[in-house]
Structure 1
Amino acid sequence: MYQSLSDLVGISDETTILKVFVSKILLNLRYWSDHEVVLEPTLKIFGELASSFTAMKRLLTLEDVKFMLANHTPTSFRFLSTASSSSLSRYRSEFYAYLARLMLVTLSGIGPDDNRPFLDFLAPLTIVANSLISNLLISVILNIDDCVGIFLPENCSISPEEARSNVIGLARDLAGVAFSLNTMASFQHFLDWFYPSLFSLFGRALELWPYDSHVTCPILKLLAEIANNRNDRLKFESTLPIGYLLLAEMTKILNNYGPRLIPFFSQVSEDNTYVHKIKPLRRYLDALRITLSEKYANFAIFGLVGDNSFEKSVKLSADMLLCVTDAELKSFIKLSKSYFALLEILTQNHMELLSSLDSSILRRFFSAIVIGVESLDSSVAWSACSCLDSILTHVYKLLYPVISPTTNGTSNGNHPNGSGMLNNHEQSKYPIFVPSPPSSLPTSEIAQAARQRLTACITGGVPMRGCCSALAIWSDRTEAGNANLKRDFLRQSSVGGVSEFTVTSRHLMITFLASFMNEECKNQWSISRPLLGLILLNQDYFSNLQRFTLNAVSPHQRAELEGIFGKLMDGVENNLFAKNRDRYAFFSIDKKVN
């Protein structure tokens, strides 16, 4: 190959070839980047060249690459200018992702403690950020005839429109940088630079342009990227409280911004639905999901220290999901993915809080799940099945609580009057709880708060032992949530004698069984998980359904179908423990394949 290149163009080694490619990339980015047809493939080639550690080490030896790392400014690259079109602005994140990837290789060569190359790389962005902080954090918002006007003081160096463009550009640039910082050391450098000034800046920007999706979407995407615990990059040293600080800032911004969107979404016209509702709502749901799901801080600590910001975020998540209509769930696949991804987090980790809210909220989510499980998109159907499985598991534990632990831990009690509370025999297995033990040593405020909560539970008439499990973040909502479910969601109706939940769950069971028997089912594993819960909650109906189905087929098929129904529950116990779930999922898929 090199001999052919040498004969044709006089190039005889790979370094020279790399120089030619990088020189052309730099030329295109500097002088032709205002043409999307040139910018897009140029960045694609740049990304492919910077795709491996060895290749990036070679790139860093080239002067053109050093120039890009030191001069990524609007004067050097036209598409970074605030005057560039919005279609070109979206490529900024990709450009900075590749630059940050190269900068990360530089950091790896000098050690994780030296942040000088990192700060030098961010110097152009620091100038923009400081200019915005100096101007936007002292701006004034006036509402005149329901129109938001932004008035900057006379001594400000930028106009409102220039400030808006700079905010959009800075958010896109930093999103690209944050995306490529996948190591704990590099991301700590980034957060040390970002916190707290940039949180204040972008929180202020959401206040100034709350309904401008061109501003809010890049900011929400940036915040979601910062809270993304990719490769465990947010697991810092145990002496650093960065996780809690990050979670506190995220919840503050989202809690301040979200309530303004709910009334606005209800006023959006049908013609502007996608730009002014679907797109910003999807970004907001993604930011909420990542904030509530990434395990970089213990959420329960908020309740102990009297901070209700996390609780507000979970409630706000439910309110934001209620803004999505059935028609929008069916029409916008990306919105459906964000919707069910967030709902999956809520149903898996926060069912106690969801059930303690108004019963209409859980009804709405249950009806949305029915739409989701029938979606043609496999990822949407998978998430909806996971949501359904979490709700069914919660309901099953409520209706058939564990009465006493067994020796092998693989069976559920099903006593109708069981409450799951510890009886006297079980209480004797635990040490006696002393609310205020005598001691001359001082007790931390958090430990005092924990004892106060335990004491309040016991003296309030709730038979709960003194243990750390009773301090779970939603433990004080369990009783109210269970009462809500039994009273409003699971109560039998006067017409027909069955609850709304039972009617819907039976419909889903028929849908799942039909999918297994008659269709090419692509989500066998995800469907099998909630199907077991549906069968256990409707065992009599399932038996009647078997008889009806057997009577509906021809006699020569009846024996085979009866064998299939028998094998479906073969070896499966009447509980929803993990081992039993896995056994049922394996058996159901195995019988489907056979």
Structure 2
Amino acid sequence: MELRYGELSKQRLDCAILTFLQHFRKSFVGDYALHSSKQLYARLSELLGIHDHSLLLVAIVRKIVTNLKSYSQSKVVIDHALSIFLEMTSGSMLGKLLLKLDIIKSIISHHDKEHFPFLDDYRCSRSRTTFYFAIAALIFMEDSLLKFKSSMDPLLQVFVSLESTSDATFHSDDVKYALIGLMRDLRGIAMATKSHRTYCFLFDWLYPARLPLLLKAIAYWTDTPEVTTPLLKFIAELVLNKSERLAFDSSSPNGILLFREVSKLIVAYGSRILPLRNAADMYTFKYKGIWICLTILTRALAGNYVNFGVFELYGDRSLADALDVALRMILSIPLADVLKFRKLAQAYFAFLEILFNSHMAFILNLDTSTFMYIVGSLEAGLKGLIENISTQCASAVDKLATFYFTDIVTGESPSSPAALCLAQHITNCPGLFQEILSTLFEIIIFGDGGNQRNLSRPMLSLILINEETLTNIKGQILASYPPDQQQHLSLCFEKLMADITRSLDLNNRDKFTQNLIRFKNEFRSKRYAAILT
């Protein structure tokens, strides 16, 4: 029997059967299905004994379960079956129909490796996340804390077993594979928490008793990405405030408690991964873990469920330590490598954007060389071809330039410590803002991106800081064209600042955006017309 299931032809046949059942189900059962006809079920009853939609669902689920139990060594079939199972659990009406079935109740009660052997096969370990995503989606539909806790018993047993493992044997293959599976399972369950209530089911189950194991796993397995990657990805899912599921009450400390645990994990991982310098595959062994850590911090900082002022007020270093180790991690990666790996770049610039948006003081308190490196990397991101990264960099630059304009240029004198730091940085690097503005003009004139509105924000801020900068850039750009074209192109610059006041209010920004789009179109058309003539 096992040999038959190992044959490629048999696997292809069962995938084809699953595809047929998937489309058949969509047509006759589901939230948006067509009304099933009496003739259809009359014929199904005659041929297969299936006379209503419940029996049809039983047949489909039974086929999925059979494949999950039989193809433990075929990831293709397992993933195909799980994708259809997850799709079925995603609809509210269909999910409620599934919960009435005995076969679904059996899956919810028995979801361990004894009943589903693929869970014990490392080749299918990634599939565990989808499996538990689907199961948890069904469990949370019942909205019962008791049923949730009882369904978590198999995972609790894994936790207890790992927690009781001695330090001497914690670095063994059995522990390694158990941790990998557990983290993938938990990530799937976390993905299924779509409301505050269901999220709290999971959070209260984890905190505080279960989280120390994660910290221990990080300490023992830092150099093993097979363990750290699923662990960190689980944490990245746990801190994501999608659908306001982390909207804790004002009297609840849970947001702060969650961030403190996250900080411990980030510091534990970062402090141990930083010394790694010459691995054969730096992305796998270092950069991947770092970009997941940056994603965790970005989501936590932007989640709007933590009052970060509490940490400084009460002398808690959770935020400071997390930001410090994150900065050390990004500085340990050459900028060329950041730009080379897309996921790393996306995490890097998203993290910088949230720092400039919400934690400006941290950036400005850096030494000038580090500050210049960070701002220089934003300029490199602006030049990139990935539009969302360019937009994030533009947002960060605008926050910096706006802070300088409002707190230093238009203020009587720098008053806050952060403003004094920024003034000193600019004194040490007087050409910084002009260089960035020049880069933005190059992108607008020669680039083909569709995010002119986002780029216009920092451009106006930079121009208002020192309007002579615009004059200098205008001269540099016009000097690069033949004399007979300069007059035409000069008119475009004159119109750019038409009706623009010395203000960064929304109306003035919108007016500048309109002028900039017109500037780009006219500048290009006049330049091309001059070339053609």
What's the TM-score bracket when you normalise by the shorter of the two chains? 0.7 to 0.9
Counterpart of 2:502, as a letter, is N
The structural deviation recorded for 1:4 is 5.8
- Match for residue 96 of structure 1? 132
- Match for residue 192 of structure 2? 180
CA displacement 1:122-170 (0-9 Å, x = unmatched): 11111111111222xxx33xxxxxxxxxx13xxxxx8822112111111
2:382–2:390 contact (8 Å) kept in structure 1: yes
- Match for residue 58 of structure 1? 97
**Structure 1: how far apart are the matches of 2:151 and 2:518?**
55
**Structure 2: how far apart are the matches of 1:363 and 1:159?**
42
- Match for residue 446 of structure 1? none
- Match for residue 202 of structure 1? 214
Size of the alignment, in residue pairs?
A: 483
Alignment of 1:9-408 (within 5 A): 9-10=47-48, 11=50, 13-81=52-120, 84-85=121-122, 87-107=123-143, 114-135=144-165, 139-140=166-167, 151-152=168-169, 160-264=172-276, 267-269=277-279, 271-402=280-411
- Match for residue 497 of structure 2? 569
2:89–2:138 contact (8 Å) kept in structure 1: yes
CA displacement 1:81-104 (0-9 Å, x = unmatched): 1xx22x411111111111111111
Counterpart of 2:225, as a letter, is S
The structural deviation recorded for 1:202 is 0.3
- Match for residue 456 of structure 1? none
- Match for residue 526 of structure 2? none
2:408–2:414 contact (8 Å) kept in structure 1: no
**Structure 2: how far apart are the matches of 1:539 and 1:490?**
16
**Structure 1: how far apart are the matches of 2:291 and 2:65?**
35
**Structure 1: how far apart are the matches of 2:511 and 2:400?**
20
2:218–2:268 contact (8 Å) kept in structure 1: no
Counterpart of 1:490, as a letter, is I
**Structure 1: how far apart are the matches of 2:163 and 2:358?**
37
**Structure 1: how far apart are the matches of 2:504 and 2:438?**
20
5+ residue gaps, structure 2: 1-35, 523-533
The structural deviation recorded for 1:18 is 2.1
2:387–2:449 contact (8 Å) kept in structure 1: no
The structural deviation recorded for 1:37 is 1.4
3-state secondary structure, aligned to 2:274: helix
The structural deviation recorded for 1:590 is 5.6
**Structure 1: how far apart are the matches of 2:447 and 2:255?**
46
1:529–1:581 contact (8 Å) kept in structure 2: yes
TM-score (ref. length: structure 2): 0.84
CA displacement 1:407-448 (0-9 Å, x = unmatched): xxxxxxxxxxx2255xxxxxxxxxxxxxxxxxxxxxxxxxxx
2:171–2:221 contact (8 Å) kept in structure 1: no
- Match for residue 21 of structure 2? none
The structural deviation recorded for 1:529 is 1.4
Counterpart of 1:533, as a letter, is S
3-state secondary structure, aligned to 1:263: coil
Counterpart of 2:398, as a letter, is D
1:26–1:64 contact (8 Å) kept in structure 2: no
**Structure 2: how far apart are the matches of 1:358 and 1:310?**
19
**Structure 2: how far apart are the matches of 1:534 and 1:300?**
30
- Match for residue 413 of structure 2? 419
3-state secondary structure, aligned to 2:500: coil
Residue 490 of structure 1, aligned match among 415, 420, 426: 426
**Structure 2: how far apart are the matches of 1:547 and 1:159?**
65
Measured at CA, do residues 13 and 589 of structure 1 come closer, stay the same or move farther in structure 2, by a change above 3 Å?
farther
1:318–1:361 contact (8 Å) kept in structure 2: no
Alignment of 1:506-545 (within 5 A): 506-545=434-473
1:220–1:283 contact (8 Å) kept in structure 2: yes
Measured at CA, do residues 591 and 51 of structure 1 come closer, stay the same or move farther in structure 2, by a change above 3 Å?
farther
- Match for residue 10 of structure 2? none
**Structure 1: how far apart are the matches of 2:426 and 2:171?**
58
5+ residue gaps, structure 1: 108-113, 141-150, 153-157, 403-417, 422-477, 493-498
**Structure 1: how far apart are the matches of 2:290 and 2:331?**
11
The structural deviation recorded for 1:116 is 0.6
Measured at CA, do residues 60 and 286 of structure 1 come closer, stay the same or move farther in structure 2, by a change above 3 Å?
same
**Structure 1: how far apart are the matches of 2:308 and 2:107?**
41
The structural deviation recorded for 1:398 is 4.5
Counterpart of 1:226, as a letter, is L
The structural deviation recorded for 1:382 is 1.6
The structural deviation recorded for 1:509 is 2.4
Measured at CA, do residues 315 and 395 of structure 1 come closer, stay the same or move farther in structure 2, by a change above 3 Å?
farther
Counterpart of 2:74, as a letter, is H
3-state secondary structure, aligned to 1:297: coil
1:401–1:420 contact (8 Å) kept in structure 2: no
CA displacement 1:528-570 (0-9 Å, x = unmatched): 1111123223421312333454566578865653443233222
**Structure 2: how far apart are the matches of 1:591 and 1:70?**
65
Counterpart of 1:28, as a letter, is N
**Structure 1: how far apart are the matches of 2:238 and 2:518?**
42
Counterpart of 1:91, as a letter, is S
1:93–1:173 contact (8 Å) kept in structure 2: yes
The structural deviation recorded for 1:400 is 0.5
**Structure 1: how far apart are the matches of 2:512 and 2:369?**
32
Measured at CA, do residues 490 and 169 of structure 1 come closer, stay the same or move farther in structure 2, by a change above 3 Å?
same
Deviation larger for 343-352 or 513-522: 513-522
CA displacement 1:315-359 (0-9 Å, x = unmatched): 222222212212212210000000011111111111212211222
1:179–1:225 contact (8 Å) kept in structure 2: yes
3-state secondary structure, aligned to 1:285: helix
2:235–2:296 contact (8 Å) kept in structure 1: yes
1:101–1:180 contact (8 Å) kept in structure 2: yes
**Structure 2: how far apart are the matches of 1:549 and 1:357?**
34
Counterpart of 1:221, as a letter, is K
Superposition RMSD in Å: 2.5
Counterpart of 2:457, as a letter, is R
- Match for residue 408 of structure 1? none
Counterpart of 1:574, as a letter, is R
The structural deviation recorded for 1:17 is 2.8
Measured at CA, do residues 88 and 399 of structure 1 come closer, stay the same or move farther in structure 2, by a change above 3 Å?
same
Measured at CA, do residues 581 and 92 of structure 1 come closer, stay the same or move farther in structure 2, by a change above 3 Å?
same
